[in-house]
Structure 1
Amino acid sequence: MLSREAARERLTLMFWRPKGHVDIKDGTPESLSAFPEKAVEQQANADAMDTSPDEQSEGQQHFRPSFRFACVMLVLWLLTLLVAIDSTAISTALLSIASHLDATTVQTEWIANAYMVTAGAFQFLFSSLSDIYGRKPLIIAAFMFLLVGTIMCGVSQNIETLLAGRTIQGIGAAGTLVIPEVLVADLIPLRLRGVYYAILAGSWAVGGGVGPIIGGAFAETVTWRWIFYLNLPICGVSLAITPFALKLKKVHADRSFMEKFKMIDIGGNILFLGSSTSLMLGLSLGGISYPWGDARSIVPIVVGGAGLVSTVLYEIHVASQPMINMKVFSTWGAIAAQVQNVLQGIVVMAWLYFLPMYFQGIKLYNPLITGLAQIPVAVVLSIAALLAGVVIRWSGHYLFVQWISLVLASVGMGLYILLNLDTTVAEWIFLAVAPGIGLGMLYSSSAQSAMAPINPSLWTDAAAVMSFARSLGEAFGVAVGGAIFASQMKHHLSKIDNVQVDPTKVIQVVEYIQQLPEGDIRHQLQNALLKTIRTLMLVMMIFCIVGLSLCVFMKEYSIDIAHEVQQGIDEDRTDESED
């Protein structure tokens, strides 16, 4: 049995560990026996605990952001902004697009689904190809997919062309989601990394905040086509500056194109593309296009899940050069951090996807005002992410940020039980503060939590897994949220007479309420919608609590670790040759 002093020390170390602290078991840091070089490095940090807190690691000392680095971050910021606007602006214009192109309900849903499915499924392909051919060519390829898809959507005269364009856009979005995460992991020391991930999170929050406003404004005042035309200048500027700004050291320069091609894990990529597409497809269809009990929802999920298991087994036992090194999951802390990324994706997406239903169905805001109502969320998320990154950089500790962020997110989601029909603007802004701060902080601390326990050579792989984990979580967020919404609305609508609306169609429920005159029926429907949103937020609180409980499996390691940059910025290059 532990003594009182030992118990107190263990509880203290759970939240705040000394710089360089590492648990030693049998002479080796726990969970690091597979990485002897990491173990030696961590032990050296433990032996140097008398180092001044203000002293930086070698990697941090040598990291000096240059003008070229600033250009790289500008490209990554534009990439993230473009995808954020692209994925959110469409939400407030779906009805206008469906009406103009005479789309069915299922086709309307697939305007969003086609993008989301391919944006998740192609991420590892872009990541693994960028390891072989270089980051810059793959970023340019992602831009080209986005550009072609955007043009197809903007000029489409039928729903089939629009869906094809959205699919191509999604492929480009996969690259623009994962490569910035990988580049930040590759270029920036671990201790400083949270700040730069926060910058990307801020770009996403800005794009996610203005996207619905842009979509609503264009749909109401001009034409929905301008939602896509707006992307063209951003794509153009990004494509123009990328070849000049992104000067990275060449990778595998001594190998020919075909020699590089032979390095591609073709089997692993095919397995992953097929299984992840099937899984994302099932999550997109379930509870929205088809009931959850329908085979058309269940079969893709089962096939996709089995396919992902097969992919993991293939990568471990068969692949000679796996697309993702499975040692990124070699510690319980790293596994817990990646599961938290999935949970974060679920909560953030469900929150941002279904909260506008309150504004439109209960407050009766139009799409433009609904978009403006989302700005406080974007602002809080951005500021919280940046401040958390600064705190981690200053203190050299990340685990306490992880705990605090998930506590705040849990409490914040629970506070939505206070949401009412007559909640004022100031009150619903206040309700967004706690979850916004918590989920925003998590963007910064999750990188250190996932990467500090593993070998530095695996950090770019871990970054790719982080990106996919969040995308998978976002797909689950829409699917789980849609299932809860449908079941709760069905339950509440069964108690109301003379209501002709399908509870599984979120947009139709809100439309139906907006079209009703003031009276008892509309009031009852709004009450049903309010209760459904409250229940949904309470379920998201449970997901946050699950994420919080996973912190118990996490241990804090030193983040003052020098790492070898794989494709760093080549400050000496002046030529325009391809990386």
Structure 2
Amino acid sequence: MLSRELGGTAIETFWAGTSYLLANAVLLPFLGAVSDVFGRQSVLMFSLTMFAAGTIVCCTAKNFTQLLSGRTIQGVGGGGLFILSFIITTDIIPLRQRPKYQSLLMAAFALGTILGPLTGGLVAEHAQWQWLFYVNFPFCAVGFLVIPFAFRRFGLKIQLSFADSLRQIDWIGGMLFVAGASSFLMGISWGGVQYSWGSFKTWLPILLGVLSIAAFLIYERFVPTRPLIRLSIFDNRSGGLVFLLTLFFGFELYTHLYYIPFYLSSVKALRPSITGVYIMALSFIMIPLAVVVGAAITRRGTYLWAIRLGFAALIFENGLLLYLDQDKNLVAHFFIIMMVAVGHGFLMVSLNIATQAIADARDVVFAVSMFTFIRQFGICIGVGVGGTVFNNVMLRALENKGFPTDQAHAVAENSEAFVGVLTAMDDGPEKDGLTSAYVDGFRGIWYLLLSLAAVSLALSFLVKHHGIDKKLESGHELREKKGAESTVAKV
């Protein structure tokens, strides 16, 4: 729809989603660190303003250059809104009580992610594409009204002047990190989609990104008095393993949410709105389960059981996806796709709480920022790696089925754009062969995710338990007014 209305190519359409994800990911740790200096409310309002401004740019876009600019600005704002929501809970809620509150936040963001395909499908079929962005404005308006009211008694314990606050920020570390992460993720996103993996346009950004991140880590270890990221959060082996599991979780989550709708539209020829209904059904398991898991972690004081159950469930669920093909009925598809939500429901909260439990109390904000970044990092890697696996497996399947090499390459390299052609084809051997090749491509994805879940489950048994009965430490406070005085609230 976007490519037709704005005259964009398949690559530009791909970047309409990817530009948001990249901007969302790379600025997460920086915005979290800045909020420690300028205060949560200031950075939250900045993020909301950026999201609203990006939405306006998208709504008024006349071409893809404007649209991608708006999506990037939206990504900056969306990342800030996401990370600040969780950081604020670490300021005012003790760790033991935090899982049940953070599970509600996770559920809210998951609901928005899952409702997106349904909304997008309805817009694609029945309205102008601008309504994809118009729907954001009421939420932005509520945010602008609510944030000042909600933060009227919450702020920094020690408020510095604007000039002193600027000097407190690790600008050099921030530039190294943002540049390195952006370059690396750009290369990963380009690989196998826009350029081949062997092209210097793919490997050079990845190499420069790695070198920049290495320089950032060395700089952070030895130079700044107030670093962007406290590397002590990686000193504990269990902490490092949990961050690695978070990377795999992000990869699994995005790949499921991206490729299941693609599967339904290509293999089962479902309309966008019906595909959205299937994905929305995930919320009826994922969201309540995440809330229940959060409450159970608070009650039991442990989280490792949820991590292990989550990855075990993903192994089973990816195995079920391998069972699906063009001949299975839609009822079987519906229940199997709903089962995918179980593993993610267990992992959404448990991994986040694990990072906070393992980190020192003074480092919790940095652990939350890094957890969110690494999860988004995994999502972005899923874009490139998932696309490469799908295209290569599908290409091999087409060639094995006797399709000419030129046709096989054309279909595999433009598999999403070809869905409309496939759906319009008359039933026959050619359509059956093409559909079967799509199924093989998706099975390549499911095998990859199954293997990743199996590795993750094995690694989860190496993580040691850390208690969640920790003292609350924060440079921010929630005050209650009592007469003419103001005291720190007990939470």
How does the TM-score come out when normalised to structure 1? Answer: 0.80
Identify the match of residue 461 of structure 1 among 345, 359, 366.
366
How far 1:573 moved relative to its partner? 9.3
Q: Quick one: which amino acid aligns to residue 493 of structure 1?
A: L
Q: Is the 8 A contact 2:157 2:476 kept in 1?
A: no
Superposition pairs of residues 228-239 of structure 1, within 5 angstroms: 228-239=133-144
Whether 1:186 aligns to 2:95 is: no
Superposition pairs of residues 203-352 of structure 1, within 5 angstroms: 203-251=108-156, 253-352=158-257
Q: Is the 8 A contact 2:157 2:475 kept in 1?
A: no
| Cα distance, 1:289–1:322 mapped onto 2, change above 3 Å | same
Q: Is the 8 A contact 1:132 1:252 kept in 2?
A: no
How far 1:389 moved relative to its partner? 0.9
Name whichever of 126-135 and 179-188 sits farther off. 179-188
Name whichever of 504-513 and 382-391 sits farther off. 504-513
Distance 1:574 1:263 in 2: 35
What residue in structure 1 maps to residue 349 of structure 2?
Answer: 444
Question: Secondary structure in 1 aligned to 2:359?
Answer: coil
Identify the match of residue 532 of structure 1 among 426, 441, 447.
441
Q: Is the 8 A contact 2:10 2:417 kept in 1?
A: no
What residue in structure 1 maps to residue 422 of structure 2?
Answer: 513
Whether 1:553 aligns to 2:458 is: no
What residue in structure 2 maps to residue 497 of structure 1?
Answer: 403
Q: Is the 8 A contact 2:118 2:280 kept in 1?
A: no
| Cα distance, 1:508–1:193 mapped onto 2, change above 3 Å | same
What residue in structure 1 maps to residue 382 of structure 2?
Answer: 477
| Cα distance, 1:559–1:485 mapped onto 2, change above 3 Å | same
Distance 1:491 1:509 in 2: 17
Question: Secondary structure in 1 aligned to 2:156?
Answer: coil
Identify the match of residue 478 of structure 2 among 569, 572, 575.
569
Q: Is the 8 A contact 2:303 2:350 kept in 1?
A: yes
Q: Quick one: which amino acid aligns to residue 317 of structure 1?
A: F
How far 1:300 moved relative to its partner? 1.1
Distance 2:91 2:431 in 1: 54
What residue in structure 2 maps to residue 173 of structure 1?
Answer: 78
CA deviation vs aligned residue, 1:102-135 (integer Å, no higher than 9, x gap): 1123222221222111111111221111000001
Question: Secondary structure in 2 aligned to 1:508?
Answer: coil
Q: Is the 8 A contact 1:330 1:454 kept in 2?
A: no
How far 1:449 moved relative to its partner? 1.6
How far 1:564 moved relative to its partner? 2.0
Question: Secondary structure in 1 aligned to 2:416?
Answer: helix
CA deviation vs aligned residue, 1:76-119 (integer Å, no higher than 9, x gap): xxxxxxxxxxxxxxxxxxxx111111112322222122211111
What residue in structure 2 maps to residue 195 of structure 1?
Answer: 100
Identify the match of residue 64 of structure 2 among 159, 163, 166.
159
Superposition pairs of residues 24-35 of structure 1, within 5 angstroms: none
How far 1:574 moved relative to its partner? 11
Distance 2:120 2:392 in 1: 29
Question: Secondary structure in 1 aligned to 2:386?
Answer: helix
Distance 2:21 2:476 in 1: 29
Q: Quick one: which amino acid aligns to residue 544 of structure 1?
A: A
CA RMSD of aligned residues (A): 1.8
| Cα distance, 1:459–1:518 mapped onto 2, change above 3 Å | same
Distance 1:453 1:364 in 2: 46
| Cα distance, 1:321–1:537 mapped onto 2, change above 3 Å | same
What residue in structure 2 maps to residue 522 of structure 1?
Answer: 431
Distance 2:411 2:342 in 1: 35
Q: Is the 8 A contact 1:384 1:441 kept in 2?
A: yes
Q: Is the 8 A contact 1:342 1:472 kept in 2?
A: yes
Q: Is the 8 A contact 1:247 1:571 kept in 2?
A: no
What residue in structure 2 maps to residue 361 of structure 1?
Answer: 266
Q: Quick one: which amino acid aligns to residue 513 of structure 1?
A: L
Distance 2:123 2:183 in 1: 34
Distance 2:264 2:440 in 1: 14
Name whichever of 260-269 and 552-561 sits farther off. 552-561
How far 1:571 moved relative to its partner? 3.1
Distance 1:248 1:399 in 2: 36
| Cα distance, 1:205–1:560 mapped onto 2, change above 3 Å | same
Aligned-pair identity in percent equals 26
What residue in structure 2 maps to residue 49 of structure 1?
Answer: none
Question: Secondary structure in 2 aligned to 1:518?
Answer: coil
Distance 1:473 1:574 in 2: 50
Q: Where do 5+ consecutive residues of structure 2 fail to align? A: 485-491
| Cα distance, 1:574–1:236 mapped onto 2, change above 3 Å | farther
What residue in structure 2 maps to residue 384 of structure 1?
Answer: 289
Q: Is the 8 A contact 2:267 2:325 kept in 1?
A: no
Q: How many residues align?
A: 480
